[in-house]
């Protein structure tokens, strides 16, 4: 690849003159400018974006670190980040940690393993002199080790940073759990079950809290016997549907669409149907919710909005704004209503 010095020698001018022509600065005669542009077209010369950034105060680049691009929530958040950055003139450099692809869930409780992927990614972005970093988690959890460089601000998404100087934008799962439950309440249901993943999971805890709050706001006592939490899998939905139907529920709020597919499996296996014998609301509004028969009502995740908000926050800091301390801003989703809820 031709350098600016080589192009300058070819045009018999100084590198500074080449730079002035490219940037439209300084005094350069029209004859010299024409000669430089002709040489650029003939040689296919491209200025080094990184080199230009290193000589300036800002590089115009923002780093994005993703837990794993294969996680369903990650692409939507990154799309929001990119939309905002494109509109503000920033370029993106992406580091994919591939945590799930490498180690499945073995890294969840192994901080040494996690840091072995995170720290090289941070070092790589610092070598590129990115102006700031947005971290995109695959699931919400406490995260440490991403905010140690005061010169490079970091904003988190879908995570709970331990560092108070790393603002984060997260799901409002309490609101989401309430939205799913109120959909069932508004259709006349009073005996409503809840099916979720691991009981100690942050998403489950918050969605269950929203479910409980919505019931109690309508004067319905919370009944722990109507809660079935095991794993984030289809089998949990299947087993949960059987257990809760035995307890006389007319509806269930599921903490995940994939869990809800297990509910549908149970109903089909017993000659029952969602939206008839049992009303079902899911969570995530994934493609599977639309393709089930009948299509399932589900709480949509505001992934794009989370990405845009995080990028706006970071760019605001880069342009002189104060770093908001201890900011954990929840972003609420909306309900996509379909045919899986019967009116009583």
pLDDT for the residue 273? 97
Please state at what angle helix 15-23 crosses helix 4-11, rounded to 10 degrees: 100
Structure tokens that stand for 79 in this block: 């799309």
State residue 155's pLDDT score.
Answer: 97
Helix (H), strand (E) at residue 250: none
Cα dist. 48→146, 241, 309 in Å? 28, 59, 30
Report how far residue 302's alpha carbon sits from residue 124's, in angstroms, rounded to the nearest whole number: 30
Burial 60-82 (b: 16+ CB within 10 A, else e): bbbbbbbbbbebebbbbbbebbb
pLDDT recorded at residue 48: 60
Burial of 184 (0-12, 13-18, 19+ CB in 10 A): buried
Which region, left, alpha or beta, applies to residue 300 given φ > 0 means left and ψ of -120 to 50 means alpha? beta
Tokens of 280: 């079902």
Omega of the bond prior to 30 within 30 degrees of 0, cis? no
Q: Is 62 helix (H, G, I), strand (E, B) or coil?
A: strand
The predicted structure's pLDDT at residue 33: 84
- Taking CA atoms, 84 is separated from 65, 80, 128, 132, 161, in Å, by 16, 6, 21, 14, 22
How many beta carbons lie within 10 A of that of residue 322, not counting itself? 7
- pLDDT score recorded for residue 286: 94
Tokens of 184: 């069932």
- CB-based contact 248:222 (threshold 8 Å): no
Per-residue pLDDT of the chain in tens (344 residues, 90 and over written 9)? 677 888 888 899 988 888 778 766 667 888 888 888 888 878 877 766 555 555 555 789 999 999 999 999 999 999 999 999 999 999 999 999 999 999 998 998 899 999 999 999 998 898 888 999 999 999 999 999 898 655 799 999 999 999 999 999 999 999 999 999 999 999 999 999 999 999 999 999 999 999 999 999 999 999 999 999 999 999 999 999 999 999 999 999 999 999 999 999 999 999 999 999 999 999 999 999 999 999 999 999 999 999 999 999 999 999 999 889 899 999 999 999 999 999 99
- pLDDT, position 16: 83
Cα distance between residue 59 and residue 321, in whole Å: 18
What is the pTM (predicted TM-score) of this model? 0.82
């Amino acid at each position: 690849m031709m350098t600016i010095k080589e192009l300058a020698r070819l045009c018999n001018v100084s590198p500074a003159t080449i730079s002035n022509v490219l940037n439209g600065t300084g005094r350069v005669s029209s004859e010299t400018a024409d000669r430089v542009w002709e040489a650029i077209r003939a040689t296919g010369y491209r200025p080094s974006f990184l080199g230009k950034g290193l000589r300036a105060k800002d590089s115009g680049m923002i780093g994005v670190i993703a837990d794993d691009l294969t996680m369903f929530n990650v692409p939507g958040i990154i799309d929001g980040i990119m939309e905002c950055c494109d509109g503000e003139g920033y370029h993106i450099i992406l580091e994919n940690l591939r945590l799930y692809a490498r180690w499945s869930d073995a890294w969840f409780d192994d901080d040494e393993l996690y840091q072995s992927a995170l720290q090289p990614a941070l070092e790589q972005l610092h070598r590129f002199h990115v102006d700031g970093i947005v971290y995109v988690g695959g699931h919400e959890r406490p995260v440490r080790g991403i905010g140690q460089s005061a010169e490079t601000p970091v904003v988190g998404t879908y995570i709970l940073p331990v560092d108070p100087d790393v603002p984060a934008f997260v799901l409002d799962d309490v609101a989401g759990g309430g939205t799913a439950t109120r959909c069932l309440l508004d259709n006349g249901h009073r005996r409503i079950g809840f099916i979720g993943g691991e009981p100690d999971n942050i998403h489950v805890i918050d969605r269950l809290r929203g479910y409980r709050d919505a019931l109690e706001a309508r004067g319905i006592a919370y009944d722990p016997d109507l809660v079935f939490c095991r794993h984030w899998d289809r089998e949990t939905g299947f087993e949960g549907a059987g257990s809760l139907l035995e307890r006389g529920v007319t509806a269930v709020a599921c903490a995940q669409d994939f869990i809800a597919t297990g509910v549908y499996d149970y109903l089909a296996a017993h000659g029952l149907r969602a939206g008839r014998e049992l009303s079902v609301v899911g969570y995530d509004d994934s493609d599977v919710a639309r393709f089930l028969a009948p299509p399932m009502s589900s709480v949509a995740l505001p992934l794009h909005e989370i990405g845009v908000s995080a990028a706006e926050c970071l760019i605001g800091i880069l342009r002189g704004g104060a770093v908001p301390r201890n900011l954990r801003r929840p972003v609420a989703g909306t309900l996509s209503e379909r045919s899986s809820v019967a009116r009583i």
